[in-house]
Amino acid sequence: MLWLKGTPVNTISKIKHKSPDVIFEAIYCFLARPPKPKPTASLNCYSAIDATWFRREDCLIVYWDTGLKKAQWWRWSKHKEAAWEIIVDLRSLKKKKVILKGATTDGGPGIKTALSFIYPSIPHQRCLVHLQRMGLAFLTKRPKTLAGLELRNLTSKLNTIKTHQDHYLWQKEFYYWCNKYYSFLKEKSYSFEKKNWWYTHRNLRRVRRMIINALPNMWHYLDNPNISKDTNGLEGRWNSLKSHFRNHRGLSKRKRQAYFAWYLTVVVNKEIPTL
């Protein structure tokens, strides 16, 4: 547990009163036998599905049970949320009697495709924090236009919506903004060097399109309190995991993957480590 949380071997050696070689031997013994997910049966599982990259080489996808507060499944992938891999995972969970009744994701096409294939009828909540973060990043901290300032103000309110009345008012304001700046957003600029035209306010258009595409799946949490409006339960754990991992960055790819499997099992799921 200490090593998984980033404690150096020399410090563990002093705490346990054992030589560093003995500590390393125990660590490598565990890393040679990474644990596999042990899902807990749940016929009414509300899941947050999210992925994070490490060194731009591998993607760790985790299926988080928001009710049990447990990582029910995970996988390493070279792809960003590939639909076929997620379909395999969801089928594996079904076999273990983990049945999804709702899912919260960042809206990636792979996850959307997989969920619509395996669970076409369940609500698929778009993570509002992710949507807000992406929107604010495109709009920048200091938009140079009034349209940008107004859209930033609207985007900043996304994560504060608690009732359907709030949602109706927010959506009304958003559509008003779209109509108000309809002509403005169609403005184009010309490059004499490249000899082509492009939309002048591309980032504003990008945020508008992103919100419009997300709208059908932004408000499921208002109808069902079991549905999380964001994947923060996982993202907070990503931050802790990566912070602890920084002290072990010299691990090979295989050992790195084993480290995360043990981390999810012992630190996140609080299971007793056994070989």
What is the distance in angstroms between the CA of the first residue and the CA of the last residue of the chain? 14
The amino acid sitting at 179 is: N
Prediction pTM value: 0.87
Confidence of residue 201 (pLDDT cuts 50, 70, 90): very high
For residue 85, what are its two tokens? Answer: 């891999």
The pLDDT value recorded for residue 92 is: 97
Whether the pLDDT of residue 135 is over 60: the answer is yes
Confidence of residue 82 (pLDDT cuts 50, 70, 90): confident
pLDDT at 123 over 90: yes
> Which region, left, alpha or beta, applies to residue 252 given φ > 0 means left and ψ of -120 to 50 means alpha?
beta
Residue type, 123: P
Average pLDDT taken over every residue of the chain: 88
Contact yes or no for 101/76 (Cβ under 8 A): no
CB atoms within 10 A of CB 28: 11
Output the pLDDT for position 25. Answer: 80
* pLDDT value, residue 55: 66
pLDDT band at residue 247 under the 50/70/90 scheme: low
